[in-house]
Chains A and B, each alone.
Chain A
Amino acid sequence: MATISLTVNKKTYKIEAEDDTPLLWALRENLGLTGTKYGCGVAQCGSCTVLVNGVATRSCVMPAKSFGDAEIITIEGLAENGGEALQDAWIEHDTPQCGYCQAGQIMSAAGLLKANPNPTDKEIDQAMNGNICRCGSYVRIKAAIKTAIKNGGVS
C-alpha cells in the first residue's frame, strides 16, 4: 500500500492503493469516477482514455503513482474544462448506441482538438483509430467532431 497523490478535474486527492494500481482503477474505485471505462486493460481499445496535461492518454496500463502532479481530466470533468461543445455535439448527433465506449471516444476527440483545433479528415482518422466502438458509431463520431469544431471546439 502506498499513498498516491492525484490531481483530477482540478482537485487534488490522496488515495491508498497498491503501487502498481493503474490510473484507471484508481479513478474508478478509489475516486468513484466510473465514467472512464475498462475495455481491454492492454491499451488497445481506448475506452479508458483521459486527458493528462491535455494529451489523450490510456489510463489502463500506467500506474496511478507515475502521474505525479500532472493534471488529469476525466469525462466527468470535461464540461467544466472546455469540453462542453464537444459533448453537446455528441448529443446533437445522438452518437451513442450502447454508449460504453463513448467517454473514451470523447476524451480522444478532446485531446485531438486541444492540440489541433482544425484537423483534416486524415488527422481525425489517426487520432480516433485507437478507440474501438463495437457498436459501429464511427460515422456519427466523425460528424460530431466536425460539429464541435464549428461550435468552438475544445478550450
Chain B
Amino acid sequence: MKKVNLSRRGFLKATGLAGSGLVLGFHWTGCTPDGTPAEIAKVVLEPNAYIKILSDGMVTLMSPVPEIGQGIKTAIPMIVAEELDVSWDQVKVEQAPLAPDLYIRQAAGGSQAIRQLWTSVRTAGAAGRRMLMEAAAREWQVPMEELTTNEGVIHHEKSNQSVTYGDIATKAADIEVPEEVELKDPKDFKIIGTSPKNVDVYDIVKGNPLFGMDMKKEGAVIAMITHPPAFGMRPKSVDDSAARAIPGIKDVFTITAFPADIDTPWTGNNAFPELVVVTGENTWNVMKAKKALKIEWETVTPGENTADHISKMEEQINAPLTEPDRIDGDPDAAFKKADKIIERTYSAPFLPHNTMEPMNFYANVTGDKVEFEGPTQTPQRLRDTTAKIFGIPEENIKVNMLRAGGGFGRRLYGHYGVEAAQISKKIGAPVKLIYTREDDMTQGTYRPDYRVKYKAGIDAEGNLIALTVIGTGTSGGPVVPNRFPAGAVDNYAAKNYSLDSNITTGAWRAPRSNFIAGAEQSFLDEVAEACGKDPMDFRLELFERSKTDPVGEKNDYDPDRFITLLKMTKEKCDWDNVPSGVSRGLSAYYCHNSYIAQIVDVEMRDGKPMLQKAWCGVDCGIVINKDGAINQVEGGILDGIGHAMYGNITFNNGVIDQQNFDKYRLIRFEEAPEAIETFFVDNGIDPTGLGEPAMPPIPGALANALYRATGKRLYHQPYIFELEDKDIDLG
C-alpha cells in the first residue's frame, strides 16, 4: 500500500481534489435518440472533480483528457473507479470540459496522459472512497479502520452493517478532504488490467452523434476556408461574384486569423494566416461556392520542391561530421582500424496526418466571450492563443472537447479553432468551420521529410566498434543522440541538422521516432548480418554491453527492460524455428517511455510478399485497459506499415501533388497483416503510454522481413517504390 499525503502544498489544487461538497441539482445521465433526457438521477456528492456519486447507485466519472481514439476516456475513469472501489458496471463516463483549475494536463500528446495522471487520478478515487468511509464510520459510530469496501458498498463486519455509496453520500457533504489517503496495492487491482469496452463503442456503432462534424448548434452558419494553393503564397484579390450567386451563400470575405505581431506557438503553427472565407446555410452550397471563387494569389516566399529538399539534405548529411551532438570515444580512428565499413542512407517523405474526421470547430464569439466546441488535442493552448489574440481574459473562453475522429498530432495545432473564432467575430454569429478533405491534406502540419546516414565499423572478429549517425529534416532532424545504440558502442557520434522551409511541419504520431526507429533498426539488421550474427543475438549483445559497461554518461533507456522484452519476444514467436516459407524481421525501439519489440513474418505468394503475422512485445509497465492497449498496438502497427509502405506527400513549387485519397495512398484492408499477437511484460512498474510507441519500430521489422523474403534491402520510404523497382515518385 502506498500513502499519498494530500496536505502537501499545491497537491489538492493540482489534482482537482479541492472543492468537495454537496451538489444540489440534476444530472443528465442519458439521452434518447431524439435528444431528450432519458432519466434524471440526482448527484448527491461530488467528492472531487473526477467523481459524482448519484442517488441511483451509479457514479459518473469525469474524463479530463481529450479522446482522439487512444482510449483515454475509458482508461482514466478505470483508474479512478479502481481506487474508489466501485464496479465498472456502476460507472458512467463523461468528458470534462477544459477546466485547468480542476484538472492537470488536459492534453492528448506525447503518450503522456496515463503516465502523468496516474498518481493524481488514483488519489482522486482513493480520496472519494475515504470520504464515504468516514461518513459511514461517523454514522455507525465505529472506527473507520474497521470498514471495508467492495463494488460501491461499505461494510462493517463486526456490527454486520452495509451501506451503498449512493446512500451514505448524502451524509458525507461536510466531510473534509482527507489529509492522507492510501492507494491500493497493485496486486489487489480488480479493474486495472481488465478489458472493458471503449465507453463510446455503442454510440459509435449505432451512428449516434459524437463528433464535431455531427453537431448541430442553434443558429450556427457553416463556414469554409480557402487557403493558398502553394506554400509561400497569400491571397491578393478575390472575385466572389460567382460564389455569391450560389443559393444559400451568406458571405465571402478575407480574414487574418493570426496577426503577425502576436506570438502564437503551437496553435499558430500554420503557413496561412490569411484566408478567404465562405459562409452559408449548408455544407454543400458552401463547398460549391468555394469552388466558384476566383482568387488571385501572390508569392511571398518561393515555392519549394521535393527534389530540392532531397539534394539539400544529401549535402548536409554528407558533409564531414563536425560539432556532433554527442560523441563517445573516437569514431574516426575506429573506422580507420575497422575491417569492414557499412554506410547507408535512409529517407522518408512528408506525411499528412489525414485524420479521418477533417479539421472542424465550432466557435461563438459574443462580446468579450468565446464558446468553443470541437475536436482538439490541446484545449488549453487554444484558449491561451484566443485570449492573446482577442485581448480577453482566459476565464471568458470556454472549450468543450468532443471525441475526435483521429488526432495523430494534427489536432495539437488548433489554428482551425482560432479561424472559427475569427469568422464568428466577424459575422457576429456562431460558426461551424469545416475543412474539406483537400483543405485538410493541403493545409497540414506535416511529418517532416527526413534523411539520415548511418556508418558502422566492424572489426575482424565481427564486433561493432564504431557507429555514427547524421540526420536532417525539414525544420528539425530526426536523430535522438542519447537513445540506443548510444551506450552500447565504444566509438559513437550523433549529429542533427535542420532544413529551413516555408512548409509547415509538426508533431506526427511519435515525432522523429516515426522515422528514425525504422532506419536504425534496418541498419542494425544489416550490420548484424555483416558481423555474421543473428539479429536477435546481436541486439541482445549490444544491450548487455550497455547494461554491464555502458559507454558515455547519459543513455536514455533502460537496457534491462529491453533485454527482458527481447527475450520474451524471442520465446513468444519461437524465433529459432521460423516456419518454412516464412521470412522474419525484427525491430525494437524505446520512445515515449515505453519499450516495444516487433516481429513481422512475410510469405511470398505468387511472387508477391504477403504480411502474414506481426508480433508485438510491450513494456509499458502496468497495463490499464488490456484490450484497449492491444487495440492501440494494432493501430500503431498498421499505421507504421501503411505509411512506410505507401505514404508520400511531394511538393512542386510549393504545391502538394496529393490532395485527396485518389492520389494519396493509405493502407487498405487487404494489405493488413493477417494476424497480430500482442503481449506485455508484467513488471508492476508505474504505467506509461501507448498511443505512439507501437508505431515507430514496425517499418524496421517490415523492411528486415522483406529483405529476407526478396533479397532487397529497403532504404527509402515509401518502400513500395523500391520494392516494385519504380523510381521514387517526386511528384
Contacts and interface: CB of A to CB of B under 8 A. Distances in A.
B675 interface: yes
A136 B662 contact: no
Interface in B638-659: 638-639, 642
A132 B672 contact: no
B162 interface: no
**Chain B interface mostly:** loop
A56 to B, nearest CB: 13
Nearest to B406: A98
Interface stretch (B355-363, B366-374, B385-393, B550-558): B355-363
B305 interface: no
Interface string A69-111: 0000011101100000001001100111111111100100000
Interface residues of A, number: 59
A115 interface: no
Interface string A108-129: 0000000000000000111011
Contacts of B632: 97
A98 B660 contact: no
Interface in A11-70: 17-18, 20-22, 25, 28-29, 32-42, 44-45, 47
A91 B205 contact: yes
A126 to B, nearest CB: 8
B547 interface: no
B461 to A, nearest CB: 43
B206 A37 contact: no
Contacts of A47: 356
A139 B285 contact: no
Given A96-B201, A98-B356, A125-B670, A38 B213 contact: yes
Contact of B210 (A87, A99, A138): A99
A141 interface: yes
B355 to A, nearest CB: 6
Contacts of B672: 136, 138-139, 142
Nearest to B667: A136
Given A42-B662, A100-B405, A137 B631 contact: yes
Contacts of A37: 211, 213, 356-357, 405
B668 interface: yes
Contact of A135 (B200, B406, B668): B406
A36 B632 CA distance: 25
B87 to A, nearest CB: 19
Nearest to A100: B405
B164 interface: no
Interface string B187-214: 0000000010110111011111111011
Interface residues of B, number: 66
Nearest to A126: B670
Given A37-B357, A47-B356, A131-B669, A137 B634 contact: yes
B406 A25 contact: no
Given A96-B201, A132-B668, A32 B661 contact: no
Interface string B57-71: 000000000001111
Interface string B669-682: 11011011000000
A18 to B, nearest CB: 6
A96 B405 CA distance: 10
A22 B287 CA distance: 12
B236 interface: no
B318 interface: no
A125 to B, nearest CB: 4
A109 to B, nearest CB: 11
B608 interface: no
B662 A90 contact: no
Contacts of A91: 197, 201-202, 205
6 contacts: A1-B247, A38-B283, A97-B632, A129-B668, A139-B673, A139-B675
Which 10 residue pairs spanning A and B have beta carbons closest together? Answer: A35-B207, A136-B638, A100-B405, A98-B69, A75-B207, A99-B204, A44-B661, A34-B214, A125-B670, A97-B69
Given A37-B405, A44-B662, A45-B437, 19 more contacts: A18-B247, A21-B284, A29-B284, A38-B283, A39-B357, A39-B661, A45-B356, A76-B207, A94-B197, A94-B628, A95-B201, A96-B205, A101-B356, A101-B405, A103-B205, A134-B354, A134-B408, A135-B635, A139-B634
